[in-house]
Amino acid sequence: MAASSTSVRPARNAVLAGRRARAMMRAIRRRSLPDRLVVPSADAGATTTSPEQAIVDWAFYRDGKRQDDVTSYAEGVRRARQGGGFVWIGLFEPTESQLAGLADEFDLHPLAVEDAVTAHQRPKLERYDDSLFAVFKTVRYAPQGQVATSGELVETGEVMAFVGAEFVVTVRHGEHSDLGQVRRQLQDNPEHLAHGPSTVLHAVADRVVDDYLAAVDRLQDDIDELEISVFSARGARDVGRVYQLKRQVLELKRAVAPLTVPLRHLAERPLRLVAPDIREYFRDVEDHLTRVREQVAAFDELLTSILQASLAQLTVAENEDMRKISAWVAILAVPTMIAGIYGMNFTHLPGADSRFGYPAVLLVTLVICVTLHRYFKRNGWL
């Protein structure tokens, strides 16, 4: 037992030393915070590595209320660590160097920081020692004029959220994923915002899923219109439109389907950084997402059926055209054949010596052509 305790003690001392070293580094970074993160004035020339260039908005909240007396988010971070509350910093498409200062201050995981910078991530939820990292895929149904130029009905973007005990850092990619309205709605409900940073995470998820619902409703209208036009007289010409809608449904499915598991974890699993009362709200968001997922799956199956019907109609239309062409070829073959025979200039041809021979040949040709036309018309070929 003595040997065992002797062998364990150096490893334990090493772990404690490592923890003390990390604590000292965090303390050094905090002491340097005012010099590094203070908001520059309008006249100051910011460098490309300054995070302020990517910041859209920031605020310090205590008891659910925005504290307007805080002049910099560096001061807000200090107050949050000293006496409660949290800081919400919103960034728009930051570079790696712009995000590095905040990553060091809040001890964000390097892999999560890399994902937040490079974007193009699948929806997910990752847990680290002192923070959560969530990725949401945002969608917007493009305006009609923009669809005409780009050909894309569904635009996608991303919102990443770093959530800690005293901070929330949101990173947006895409012009349509604005969170200003989300911030204003939360500030109008201080009782809800008082639950802490997890409230912001729920509000972001709720906004994203609401945008899914809006996109699904507009997609439903377009699919209904397409379904009517496909079975009209010119429906076969909408095959390209069917392909376009099906491609957009697949894009929407890639945004919606992977979000199911992260929302279920937030709604059902107890997480240290998620207030218990907020989990109930995540369940509501999960229910909305389930509705969206079911509708998207139904759209995919419906568009597959419409596509098959369109291709079948196109085949039928081509067969009808071929029958019409064949009927007219058969009708025109009669005068062509008779003219070819009489054009061979034989000495003895039927009616060649009669004054009624030429009109008789024309009459016979006309009778045969009219008979063939009536026959093909009665059988639906013309």
119 lies in the same domain as 161:
yes
Parallel/antiparallel/unpaired status of strands 167-173 and 154-163: antiparallel
pLDDT for the residue numbered 234: 57
Spatial CA neighbour of 85 closest among 105, 68, 65, 104: 65
DSSP string over 141-169:
EPPHHHHHHH--SEEEEEEEEEE-SSEEE
pLDDT digits (tens, 9 = 90+) for 230-271: 777 555 556 778 888 888 888 888 889 999 999 999 998 888
DSSP tag of 212? H
In a domain, 9, yes or no: no
Residues 298 and 326 in one domain: no
Residue at 214 is within a domain: yes
Higher pLDDT, 76 or 148: 76
* Span 315-350, pLDDT tens digits: 777 777 788 888 888 888 888 888 887 777 777 677
pLDDT of residue 217 exceeding 80, the answer is: yes
pLDDT of residue 142: 76
| Of 274, 290, 312, the domain-final residue | 312
Same domain, 57 and 156: yes
Residue 6 domain flag: no
Question: Do 323 and 289 fall into the same domain?
Answer: no
Distance from C-alpha of 266 to C-alpha of 278, rounded to nearest angstrom: 9
E strand map for the chain:
55-62, 65-66, 86-92, 124-127, 132-141, 154-163, 167-173
Q: How many domains does the chain have?
A: 2
Task: Determine contact, residues 131/109, Cβ cutoff 8 Å.
Answer: yes
The pLDDT value given to residue 46: 40
- Tell me, yes or no, whether 267 lies in a domain: yes
List the CATH number of the domain containing 345.
Answer: 1.20.58
59: domain CATH number? 3.30.460.20
C-beta separation of 157 from 206 below 8 A: no
Mark whether 196 and 326 lie in a shared domain: no
pLDDT of residue 337: 84
